[in-house]
Structure 1
Amino acid sequence: MKYPIGIQDFEKLRKGNYLYVDKTDLIYRMVTEGSYYFLSRPRRFGKSLLISTLEVYFRGMKEFFEGLRIMELEKEWAEYPVLHLDLNTEKYATGVDLENKLDLFLKQCEAKYGKNPDEYSLATRFEGVIRRASEKTGRNAVILVDEYDKPLLQAIGNEALQDDYRNTMKAFYGALKSMDRYIKFALLTGVTKFGKVSVFSDLNNLRDISMLRAYESICGITEEELYSVFEEDIRALGKENDMTEEETKTRLKELYDGYHFNEKCVDIYNPFSILNTFVNKKFGNYWFETGTPTYLVELLKKNKSSIEELDGIEIDGKMLESIDTTSQNPIPVIYQSGYLTIKGYDKEFETYILGYPNKEVEKGFINFILPFYATLKNKNSGFEIKSFVKEIESGNTDAFMKRLQSFFADTPYELVRDLELHYQNVMFILFKLLGFYTQAEYHTSEGRIDMVVKTQDYVYVMEFKLDGTAEEAMRQIESKDYPLPFECEGRKLVKLGVNFSNEKRNVERWIVSF
């Protein structure tokens, strides 16, 4: 079987006899039930392939759909003029970058459908191209926009540049409404749905299918598709890794499944990770390693977010479905980018409960953000964590506390006012990465333990103070009987009282008791 790793062109995929998970019945539903659509999905989820498939379909290239479901549905196979704008191929760093990209797109369209010198702006040129494409071919135009939000995402944190891009997009996409009588079909895709951009505020006939059950599986792989299309691959993967078929399925599920795009959504597997796993016959963090979501980290730090609270956070439904580019709340962006997914829904209050979709995303995200919060001597988080693990497993408390001090070294002065949250985030990230049982603010009948860490041989009960004393922290552990729930577990109990200092911006002192 040939796997289409990195192939986003439907024509190339079909010519090369690559594997294709058939979504054409959903595509037919789209084109026959409506005209204007928007779809949000995380990166590497098949949005570009969907756009390419629609382009081949609207060009009437019937031969590429042989053997697919749409052949039983479509009877006409008419050819339409297709205007395909891909915004994913540019790095948007200045105000002119977006304008240059749109200008190039329009020049290519004008070379095919003609140009009017009186059309001077990007918006009027777009209107003219749409009209002439329709008039020249005798059929209304199809508009396909891939990754419409790439400029806005890259400008997160730069309000002036975001403003510039918003104004450009507002005028440009306004042409879709004014040229409605010349348009057969339009689909815009992106990672996020930004509100207050005219694509959504002015185009009141644009149908957002991102959270609709009818289209929940249009990108990604369902469990039914995984078990039917990849039946032989699952067995081969298991054999290569000395696992039974059921063990292989379980491992695939915990690593790559768990995406939900509405409150009743079937489980969706990450297609990029699934394909890479089968072609390599090896489990890995494929999706996360293809991108570095630095804008997400900047949002988290800027908005003083607690990393621990991301998993299980609750958010208003309206806020989740549309993002205001001026908003300071990072959670909707993190959700739509694929790092959080829907885990539950409160119907009464119309709020969603979010969490990490799977182990690949959780581990990858936590590992990625560590260098943004902690100082790493070797700039190698893997080496630092490995050393940290060995020290904790061996009960070498002083060694791992000294390493912890190094993680907090050189804390930026701008964090002084938020040191407590900064400490909490670093501690949570570190112990989450260790892969041990870790629970911050562990509840007992006598109070809350700041952190509990379990290894094969040890249980660490930790209490932290900010501008207090290590002795105070230890007294609280003792007086509240925090170790009591763990005394019968057969592990060696380690009590650790730690004091952080605002002045030193680091761990000041710690006390260990056994």
Structure 2
Amino acid sequence: GYRWGGQEVTSVYNPFDVLLLLQNRQFGPYWFESATPTFLVDMLRQRGIYTPSLDHWETEYELLSQFDVDNISTDALLFQAGYLTIKTLEEPMLGYRQYTLGFPNQEVETSLNLALLPSLGLENAPRERRTLFTHLRNHDLAGLENHLKALYAGLPHDWYRNNPIAQYEGHYASVFYSHFAALGGQVTVEDSSHHGKVDMAVDFAGHIYLFEFKVVEQLPEGKALEQIKARGYADKYR
């Protein structure tokens, strides 16, 4: 739910969603469907936002309190528009407050990431989501691998031509994260273990999928899988 303070402050679920849930007797993305966030999606695309960071966005009070629409920070827009809310609040020094923002609920996380996918290069995001769901439901690893390879093969060539190699890994991670998050599964970014952090972990129907992102042009092929095995990222789930 939405929170306007630290963990001691009670969180509130969106009343618009609650009323429509009671009226229709079924769950749905009612609040998100009330307005199409075209401006927000365009802004996040133009600013090259790393989508896995959206659920643990670190910021400060001054950025959240901006009201100049012509010069608004990403932090302020996401917070004031209701796409992110306060998860934690710390005051390491008197008068200096640090905030960690995140999605208020699954509806916002799922719907926003689905809306962002076309800007990341997925032209038919709902169809791709259905394909992903089918492979995960059947625990079809070969099908999942082929699906993800086809997904990246279909990314616009212009993106590769216009972006330096240093940004590839971040873009791949954004596509992966938003694709899985749009499905509504449990996605954990930088999942910690006693050996370090794996880039992304997905929990779907009791099956755990671990992802480590590497750019082949910078490291030999297979280094990501080698790192997952060497550091025992899967041990905590066994």
TM-score, normalization by structure 2: 0.81
In the other structure, the counterpart of 1:183 is none
CA distance, structure 2, for counterparts of residue 362 and residue 343 of structure 1: 14
Q: Given the alignment of the two structures, is residue 440 of structure 1 paired with residue 185 of structure 2, yes or no?
A: no
**Equivalent position amino acid for 1:365 in 2:** L
In the other structure, the counterpart of 1:414 is 162
Is the 8 Å Cα contact of residues 112 and 182 (structure 2) preserved in structure 1? no
**Equivalent position amino acid for 1:271 in 2:** P
In the other structure, the counterpart of 1:141 is none
**Equivalent position amino acid for 1:462 in 2:** F
> What SS does structure 2 have at the residue aligned with 1:357?
coil
CA distance, structure 1, for counterparts of residue 65 and residue 74 of structure 2: 13
Deviation at 1:462, TM superposition (A): 3.0
Deviation at 1:325, TM superposition (A): 4.1
In the other structure, the counterpart of 2:202 is 453
CA distance, structure 1, for counterparts of residue 214 and residue 103 of structure 2: 30
Deviation at 1:298, TM superposition (A): 1.9
Deviations 1:436-481 (A, max 9, x none): 3332332222232223333336333333320233322232233223
Deviation at 1:301, TM superposition (A): 2.1
Deviation at 1:410, TM superposition (A): 3.0
Q: Given the alignment of the two structures, is residue 283 of structure 1 paired with residue 32 of structure 2, yes or no?
A: no
Is the 8 Å Cα contact of residues 61 and 97 (structure 2) preserved in structure 1? yes
Q: Given the alignment of the two structures, is residue 317 of structure 1 paired with residue 61 of structure 2, yes or no?
A: yes
Deviation at 1:336, TM superposition (A): 0.7
CA distance, structure 2, for counterparts of residue 274 and residue 457 of structure 1: 29
Deviation at 1:387, TM superposition (A): 1.6
In the other structure, the counterpart of 1:205 is none
Deviation at 1:265, TM superposition (A): 5.8
Q: Which moved more, 1:464-473 or 1:288-297?
A: 464-473
CA distance, structure 2, for counterparts of residue 432 and residue 340 of structure 1: 15
Change beyond 3 A, Cα 1:470–1:284: same
Count of aligned pairs: 227
CA distance, structure 2, for counterparts of residue 462 and residue 343 of structure 1: 25
> What SS does structure 2 have at the residue aligned with 1:389?
helix
1:78-157 map, 5 Å:
none
CA distance, structure 2, for counterparts of residue 366 and residue 268 of structure 1: 22
1:375-414 map, 5 Å:
375-376=122-123, 379=124, 381-408=125-152, 409-411=154-156, 412=159, 413-414=161-162
**Equivalent position amino acid for 2:196 in 1:** G
**Equivalent position amino acid for 1:329 in 2:** S
Deviation at 1:311, TM superposition (A): 1.6
Change beyond 3 A, Cα 1:341–1:401: same
In the other structure, the counterpart of 2:97 is 350
**Equivalent position amino acid for 2:31 in 1:** W
In the other structure, the counterpart of 2:180 is 431
Name the Cα RMSD after superposition: 2.5
Deviation at 1:333, TM superposition (A): 0.7
> What SS does structure 2 have at the residue aligned with 1:301?
helix
Deviation at 1:335, TM superposition (A): 0.8
**Equivalent position amino acid for 1:473 in 2:** A
> What SS does structure 2 have at the residue aligned with 1:311?
helix
CA distance, structure 2, for counterparts of residue 483 and residue 477 of structure 1: 7
CA distance, structure 2, for counterparts of residue 464 and residue 402 of structure 1: 17
**Equivalent position amino acid for 2:171 in 1:** H
Identity of aligned residues (%): 28
Deviation at 1:323, TM superposition (A): 3.5
Change beyond 3 A, Cα 1:482–1:266: closer
Q: Which runs of 5+ in 2 are unaligned?
A: none
In the other structure, the counterpart of 1:491 is none
CA distance, structure 2, for counterparts of residue 439 and residue 265 of structure 1: 24
In the other structure, the counterpart of 1:359 is 106
Deviations 1:267-287 (A, max 9, x none): 444333233223223322111
* Aligned match for 2:2, one of 252, 259, 282: 259
Change beyond 3 A, Cα 1:414–1:290: farther
* Aligned match for 2:47, one of 293, 298, 303: 303
TM-score, normalization by structure 1: 0.40
CA distance, structure 1, for counterparts of residue 30 and residue 188 of structure 2: 28
1:22-101 map, 5 Å:
none
CA distance, structure 2, for counterparts of residue 483 and residue 388 of structure 1: 22
Is the 8 Å Cα contact of residues 87 and 101 (structure 2) preserved in structure 1? yes
Deviation at 1:403, TM superposition (A): 1.8
CA distance, structure 1, for counterparts of residue 51 and residue 108 of structure 2: 14
Change beyond 3 A, Cα 1:457–1:299: same
Deviation at 1:421, TM superposition (A): 1.3
In the other structure, the counterpart of 2:121 is 374
In the other structure, the counterpart of 1:70 is none
Deviation at 1:328, TM superposition (A): 6.8
**Equivalent position amino acid for 2:232 in 1:** D
**Equivalent position amino acid for 1:440 in 2:** V
1:150-169 map, 5 Å:
none
> What SS does structure 1 have at the residue aligned with 2:199?
strand
